[in-house]
Structure 1
Amino acid sequence: MISDQMRNTQATKTAVNRHGGMQQGSVTKYRAFPPIELPERQWPSRSITTAPTWCSVDLRDGNQALPIPMSVEEKLKLFDLLVSVGFKEIEVGFPSASQIEFDFIRRLVDENRIPDDVTVQVITQAREDLIRRTFESIQGMKKVIIHLYNSTSPAQRRLVFGLDKAGIIDIATRGTQLIKDLVPTIPETQVIFQYSPESFALTEIDFSLEICEAVVDIWQPTPEAKIILNLPETVQIATPNIYADQIEWFCRHMRHRESAIISLHTHNDRGTGVATTELGLMAGAERVEGTLFGNGERTGNVDIITVALNMYMQGINPLLNFGDIDAIRAVYEECTRMQVPVRHPYSGELVFTAFSGSHQDAIQKGMAAWDGAPDAVWEVPYLPIDPKDIGRTYEAIIRINSQSGKGGVAYVMENEFGFQLPKAMRVEFGKIINAIADVRGDELTPQQIYDAFEHEYLQRTSPFSLEAFHAEKAGASSPDEVVCRARVILNGELYELSGSGNGPIDAFVRALNQASLANFTVRSYTEHSLNHGSDARAVAYLQIETPSGRTFFGAAIATNIEQASIKAVLNAVNRVQATMG
């Protein structure tokens, strides 16, 4: 007989075969991108030491990727955010693509919304009608980058345009010449020209150089008035080192390199957009185009926040301020209707959170050791940067579920509520919290952890409760001895006790044991203040051991430390009684 599991497996295979599925055996459907011939490449031994020029393309590339494109008002709000973060170059749209794009750009100009130290960028394909419409949109700007592009890859040449290399070069050079001819029609505007061979990473490297140099020959840039050559990895097709080789090869072989700014524009199809950008900078690029949180077509553009904060955690000023990452994320999500994943680098809700017990313990110890001085080196395990630097708080660093350990529980109790649990008590309470989390099956909030602590250690009022306690020195004949008198209720019956010992706790324990109401010894005792001032309270932690060798902690809070310690004794004894009952 065929089992249900086998039937389901066969049905799945049939469905996969019917609808396609991955090629098995030798994969002939795809070809590896050929490596670049680059003897003695230099980029592997270089480091990033300074921030590049950043250009946000959120308002164009990011906007095009949205199921519901942003309205003019949403684009204005996002533009203001980008300015506040510190972007000095912002691509504001494709003015010939739609009326909304055009109207947005006109709002920026007509309402004088572009700061003097910010240069906006507009993009256009290499078509005459689109170029002329673009010039209409930028009338009155003080400074603008005009970004011209056309596609150059073999597949695009063959399948989309039906042109040879010469025909593709002609598209680029005619577009460049038209822009150059139109620049005098806007004499009040400083124009910077940017050209992109749009499918650079998929194009033969020598042809990419050929078409870019043809454009440079027409534009005639100088070291004082440079052209921007944007070399996109519009679709990722190889490992990041291949793109770095392409960039270094291009920079090595380009004529008039001193008159060009080499710019990167990487996507994330292979999930390596950040790595590709970083290696491209090591290979000689000086400028990066990208988006907040990596929003963009398909799997997205490079995430500028991640690249910038990667630099920051290496001790490099990224020249962008992400000091309130939560506010930035809120505006981004409002304007784009996209959500930042909880595990997104630096920005996600859970990236500064540790659930693992060993991680929690290491974080707690690292936080305790770091002195917080402005010049102190950050060395907290598992946290690559100080969350405070980007506006996050320490409160959510450690959160507790069934995977958590004693270190995380202790961290929450100390940082949220001020309790400095003794080491052995951390183990005991950690097991209690794990058991609760196992039953619940989800995360415990700090308040739930405190409630469990209060229930387990502070509110043990039966079978013992304390009605009165008084202790005093025994007298001159025994200066180190303390005598106590106590009134204790056990199961509703009042007992008057007395005892002596080397302190109030010892005297009280002896009184209980001598009255045969309990039988235990004290293993450890600690105390500390919970707050300061006239209403300061103290907390006492006490561990007892029964004749069988079992240990139990008790804790208590009071404005008088003596009262707290005596109540902690009874709370510990009550926990013993609870296990026996």
Structure 2
Amino acid sequence: MLPNPAQKYAAYAPLPLPDRQWPDKTLTRAPRWLSTDLRDGNQALAEPMDIPRKLRFWEQLLACGFKEIEVAFPSASETDFQFVRQLIEEQRIPDDVTIQVLTQARSDLIERTFAALDGAKNATVHLYNATAPLFRKLVFRQSKEEIVQLAVSATRQIRTLCEANPNTRWNYEYSPETFCFTEPEFALQICEAVADVWQPSAARPMIINLPATVEVNTPNVYADQIEYFCRHFTRRHDVCISVHPHNDRGCGVASAELALLAGADRVEGCLFGNGERTGNVCLVTLAMNLYSQGIAPELDFSDMKQVVELVEQCNQLPVHPRHPYAGKLAFTAFSGSHQDAIKKGFHAREQTDSPRWEMPYLPVDPEDIGCSYEAVIRVNSQSGKSGAAWMLEQNHGLVLPRALQQDFSRHVQAQTDREGNEMTLSALWQLFRDLYGPYPLAPRQLLDYRSESQPDGELQLSARVQTAEGIVTLQGTGNGLLSAAAAAIASRFKMTLAIEDYHEHTLGRCSESRSAAYIRCSFKQGVSRWGTGIDNDVSRASLQALLNALPDGDAGWK
């Protein structure tokens, strides 16, 4: 890279608009949407879609609720031409959906475009030509007057062909293709000239598309350009202003949102931002941003995973795992502090009947787009106590006491540091069982017990325990079941222990649900251990938890 890039690159000048209004506006409704996946997105693929792939994509766009779909550049490709014909001849286009096709300002290409659209019920013909000084000078070598005449002549031809085919409800779209770096006055001039020919009205609808063909400035400058155009275009109330932001600076979504604030009515883009170079604006992100602010986007992404899978198959391009809302890791937290905040947020949500979504780090409820909570928290070496605890709670119903969360977290971090991998749910569960033994695989298993109250208020316990070496009988007395069990163990094996912590809860809402018990015991030299027990009988669960808290390999068990 150059130490002084200004020697090679010049900044694009912003538009002077000191009384701009868009910064004080807020978005309150969804725009009109146009998917250009089948045209702009398709032409950006290393291997453009064949007709079967295009048909699958078409059906997905309909399922998502798109009412305007740019389906092809029929004069540029035989595949595109035949795809448009198939949609029309096989009556695949719903009555409330308008197909759109693109054409350059050449007479023969316009004729071919109308041949493709023969018999369509609702169709938009999209004409474009480049208008920026760079293109006028280097690409076309034409004057402003010649560029205007090109657009006007093509528009006149399109109007004539539309009037010759009255059975189709025609819509016309014109794009000064390089709008974002065209002089504002010239962009107005050429659009006014085109509109004078078309004469837009309710009976003759027109769209003016103002694309950020290549992002050359910050999104606020693009918004200024849109506002300036909307203020000064004489037929503003007779046309739909559309925007088509690309993503060269990584600002496609921001540019679209600010353009809507500045007066645009419609947004053109692709699912997950496919398109030339760095792509078009991502319509999924834009729609879900509205949704997260309580605005119905009028598009349906209730099964986001299915949408992602189909788009990946058709485009043969992966959706990034961190893509907003749609990536496999979009709602996943590995960080301990994030996991703790999310866990507390879900617990708080369980205590309220409010429909309001208020969740740390999760702008929308993953369930709304068909995602489960299983992937929200995943455990690696960066995770804290809450991550593992959340997974056990969500998948096994265990609500670990805070101190047990901390103890288990140390073991989890030691294992993930040692192996360097994310810890799966099955591995996490196996580690928990190995450490705290909540199930019959534990080395000491309670077979049966009897308890009986004594005249002095004490409780006498007799229990049989299966060990690797045989059956051991325990007998002891205490002021409760666990104190009697602790006394029995201490007496039988000359072991010093004290119960320091105890928790229990049911694993379900029904009376027949199982119970879980957690016990922390302290031993000589300040050593402490946790044990967990799960049983239909909470007393049995408590006794088993105590047995599971005892050190392994003690000679007294033999």
TM-score range, shorter chain: over 0.9
Question: Letter of the aligned partner of 2:263 in structure 1?
Answer: G
Task: Report if the CA contact (8 A) 1:463-1:577 is conserved.
Answer: no
CA 573–460 in structure 1, closer or farther in 2 if over 3 Å, else same: farther
Give the 3-state SS of the residue equivalent to 1:266 in structure 2.
Answer: coil
By how many angstroms is 1:307 displaced? 0.4
By how many angstroms is 1:504 displaced? 1.3
- Which of 465, 484, 509 is the matching residue for 1:507? 484
**Matches of residues 273-312 of structure 1 in structure 2 within 5 Å?**
273-312=252-291
- Which of 164, 172, 176 is the matching residue for 1:197? 176
Task: Report if the CA contact (8 A) 1:543-1:572 is conserved.
Answer: yes
- Which of 533, 541, 546 is the matching residue for 1:564? 541
Provide TM-score, normalisation by structure 1.
Answer: 0.92
In structure 2, what is the Cα distance between the partners aligned to 1:71 and 1:193?
Answer: 27
Question: Letter of the aligned partner of 2:294 in structure 1?
Answer: G
Give the 3-state SS of the residue equivalent to 1:574 in structure 2.
Answer: coil
In structure 1, what is the Cα distance between the partners aligned to 2:191 and 2:68?
Answer: 22
Question: Letter of the aligned partner of 1:116 in structure 2?
Answer: D
- The runs of 5 or more residues in structure 1 that have no matched partner are 1-21
CA 343–576 in structure 1, closer or farther in 2 if over 3 Å, else same: farther
CA 541–425 in structure 1, closer or farther in 2 if over 3 Å, else same: same
Aligned residue in 1 for 2:530: 553
- Which of 142, 148, 157 is the matching residue for 2:127? 148
Question: Letter of the aligned partner of 1:546 in structure 2?
Answer: F
Give the 3-state SS of the residue equivalent to 2:526 in structure 1.
Answer: coil
Task: Report if the CA contact (8 A) 1:333-1:340 is conserved.
Answer: yes
Give the 3-state SS of the residue equivalent to 2:321 in structure 1.
Answer: coil
The count of residues paired between Structure 1 and Structure 2 equals 555
- Which of 187, 203, 206 is the matching residue for 2:185? 206
Aligned residue in 2 for 1:87: 66
Deviations, residues 290-318 of structure 1 (Å, cap 9, x unaligned): 00000000000000000010011011010
Aligned residue in 1 for 2:428: 449
Question: Letter of the aligned partner of 2:41 in structure 1?
Answer: G
1:123 corresponds to 2:102: yes
By how many angstroms is 1:146 displaced? 0.6
Aligned residue in 1 for 2:142: 163
CA 536–345 in structure 1, closer or farther in 2 if over 3 Å, else same: same
In structure 1, what is the Cα distance between the partners aligned to 2:353 and 2:207?
Answer: 38
Question: Letter of the aligned partner of 1:139 in structure 2?
Answer: D
In structure 1, what is the Cα distance between the partners aligned to 2:353 and 2:488?
Answer: 54
CA 163–466 in structure 1, closer or farther in 2 if over 3 Å, else same: closer
Give the 3-state SS of the residue equivalent to 1:232 in structure 2.
Answer: coil
Deviations, residues 82-126 of structure 1 (Å, cap 9, x unaligned): 011011100011010111000000000000000001011011000
Provide TM-score, normalisation by structure 2.
Answer: 0.96
In structure 2, what is the Cα distance between the partners aligned to 1:288 and 1:107?
Answer: 26
By how many angstroms is 1:499 displaced? 1.4
1:111 corresponds to 2:104: no
Give the 3-state SS of the residue equivalent to 1:244 in structure 2.
Answer: helix
- The runs of 5 or more residues in structure 2 that have no matched partner are none
* Root mean square deviation, CA, Å: 2.1
**Matches of residues 197-346 of structure 1 in structure 2 within 5 Å?**
197-222=176-201, 225-346=204-325
Give the 3-state SS of the residue equivalent to 2:112 in structure 1.
Answer: helix
By how many angstroms is 1:396 displaced? 0.9
Question: Letter of the aligned partner of 1:171 in structure 2?
Answer: L
1:428 corresponds to 2:407: yes
Task: Report if the CA contact (8 A) 2:188-2:229 is conserved.
Answer: yes
Aligned residue in 2 for 1:411: 390
CA 122–557 in structure 1, closer or farther in 2 if over 3 Å, else same: same
Of the structure 1 ranges 237-246 and 550-559, higher mean CA displacement relative to structure 2 is found in: 550-559
Aligned residue in 2 for 1:19: none
Task: Report if the CA contact (8 A) 2:170-2:205 is conserved.
Answer: no
CA 393–374 in structure 1, closer or farther in 2 if over 3 Å, else same: farther
CA 422–577 in structure 1, closer or farther in 2 if over 3 Å, else same: farther
In structure 2, what is the Cα distance between the partners aligned to 1:190 and 1:244?
Answer: 32
By how many angstroms is 1:280 displaced? 0.3
Deviations, residues 346-370 of structure 1 (Å, cap 9, x unaligned): 0000011000001001101101111
Deviations, residues 251-274 of structure 1 (Å, cap 9, x unaligned): 111112111111000000000000
Of the structure 1 ranges 547-556 and 259-268, higher mean CA displacement relative to structure 2 is found in: 547-556
1:528 corresponds to 2:505: yes
Give the 3-state SS of the residue equivalent to 1:187 in structure 2.
Answer: coil
**Matches of residues 435-474 of structure 1 in structure 2 within 5 Å?**
435-458=414-437, 465-466=444-445, 468-474=447-453
- Which of 469, 473, 479 is the matching residue for 1:492? 469
Deviations, residues 407-457 of structure 1 (Å, cap 9, x unaligned): 111100000111111111000001111111111111111111001111111
By how many angstroms is 1:536 displaced? 4.1
By how many angstroms is 1:187 displaced? 1.6
Aligned residue in 1 for 2:10: 31
CA 495–186 in structure 1, closer or farther in 2 if over 3 Å, else same: closer
Aligned residue in 2 for 1:184: 163
CA 473–228 in structure 1, closer or farther in 2 if over 3 Å, else same: same
In structure 1, what is the Cα distance between the partners aligned to 2:137 and 2:440?
Answer: 84
CA 372–157 in structure 1, closer or farther in 2 if over 3 Å, else same: farther
Aligned residue in 1 for 2:30: 51
By how many angstroms is 1:565 displaced? 1.5
Question: Letter of the aligned partner of 2:209 in structure 1?
Answer: N
Q: Identity over aligned residues, as a percent? A: 46
Give the 3-state SS of the residue equivalent to 1:271 in structure 2.
Answer: coil
Give the 3-state SS of the residue equivalent to 1:210 in structure 2.
Answer: helix
CA 217–209 in structure 1, closer or farther in 2 if over 3 Å, else same: same
By how many angstroms is 1:501 displaced? 1.1
Task: Report if the CA contact (8 A) 1:460-1:574 is conserved.
Answer: no
- Which of 350, 368, 374 is the matching residue for 1:395? 374
1:362 corresponds to 2:341: yes
By how many angstroms is 1:371 displaced? 4.2
Task: Report if the CA contact (8 A) 1:354-1:397 is conserved.
Answer: yes
By how many angstroms is 1:567 displaced? 1.8
- Which of 32, 36, 48 is the matching residue for 1:69? 48
Aligned residue in 2 for 1:3: none
In structure 2, what is the Cα distance between the partners aligned to 1:147 and 1:372?
Answer: 54
Task: Report if the CA contact (8 A) 1:537-1:559 is conserved.
Answer: yes
In structure 1, what is the Cα distance between the partners aligned to 2:133 and 2:256?
Answer: 24
By how many angstroms is 1:36 displaced? 0.5
Give the 3-state SS of the residue equivalent to 2:94 in structure 1.
Answer: coil
Of the structure 1 ranges 529-538 and 550-559, higher mean CA displacement relative to structure 2 is found in: 529-538
Task: Report if the CA contact (8 A) 1:311-1:318 is conserved.
Answer: yes
Deviations, residues 361-416 of structure 1 (Å, cap 9, x unaligned): 11011011114989611111000000011110111100000110111111000001
CA 549–351 in structure 1, closer or farther in 2 if over 3 Å, else same: same
In structure 2, what is the Cα distance between the partners aligned to 1:532 and 1:26?
Answer: 67
CA 279–548 in structure 1, closer or farther in 2 if over 3 Å, else same: same
Give the 3-state SS of the residue equivalent to 2:47 in structure 1.
Answer: coil
CA 337–490 in structure 1, closer or farther in 2 if over 3 Å, else same: closer
Question: Letter of the aligned partner of 2:485 in structure 1?
Answer: F
